[in-house]
Amino acid sequence: MKSSNKGRVCVLLTLSIVFLSAQSASATLMGFLSTPDVDGMVAAGGWASPPDGGGFRLDWEISQNLDLSWHYKYTFSTEDEEPLEKYAVSHLILPLSENIEQEDLYNFSDNVELEFGTFGPAPGNPGFPIGESIFGIKINLTGDQTYVEFDANREPMWGDFYAKDGGSPVAYAYNTDIGITVVNLHDYTGIPVDGSGAPLHKILTPDTYIPEPATLLLLGLGGLALLKRRRA
């Protein structure tokens, strides 16, 4: 299945940095996983690559707010960046740090239901790789949302994902390197790699780290300087 449903990963931060308006204190981290091209994503059903399906693409866009929290946005589309239409996302599973609290994530987009726990192979997660699991959050979408967004007081880390639709036959997708340890887990401005230095297909999700008070002060002063420059 992996050889016929290939995927690609692109960490756009290595190519471009988009500076935001005064509503943000930092640059935007952007990237995506998509079918086809290289073996970065397993996708089946309506999300398999043409001619079997329309393909699947998951984009992320992450920025830091002026209060030093982080804004996370995940967008779903076909590999040609068209609406998923019939094969809309039913739920998305993202990993979280082991010490995270539910209140660390907030301001979710409308029409979603949240579950926290450990998720793995189950009737509700068809195609989830045997022997793997994700500790984190399951975001249930109740409409035809094309994206999910929320705020968190945790900075990004490299992690996995799993998504499915609610159709029949079921479409699902996940990154092929699910479960493989990232040695530079917290290096969210670089490329995720394994112990031998080989690039991994991962996405950015909320991390364990909360800045120390001194770091918060420095970042806050930087944010104020940015506001002053923009108001001048």
pLDDT at 160: 98
Question: Does the pLDDT at position 10 exceed 90?
Answer: no
* 212 pLDDT above the threshold of 80: no
Reported pTM: 0.81
Residue 187 makes CB contacts below 8 A (sequence gap 6+) with: 158
- 43 found inside a domain: yes
87 inside domain: yes
Give the least confident one: 34-48, 61-75, 165-179.
34-48
Q: Is 159 inside a domain boundary?
A: yes
d(CA 117, CA 132): 14
Whether 182 is covered by a domain: the verdict is yes
Structure tokens belonging to residue 51: 């001619």
In a domain, 1, yes or no: no
Q: Does some domain include residue 2?
A: no
Higher-pLDDT residue of 12 and 165 is 165
6 or 89: which leads in pLDDT: 89
Cα(6)–Cα(43) distance, rounded to whole angstroms?
8
Q: Is 150 left (phi over 0), alpha (psi -120 to 50) or beta?
A: beta
State which residues form the domain around 146.
7-231
* 44 bridge partner residues: 172
- Euclidean distance between CA atoms 191 and 184, whole angstroms: 8
- As for how many domains the chain has, the answer is 1
Q: Are 59 and 74 in contact (CB under 8 A)?
A: yes
Within a domain: residue 186? yes
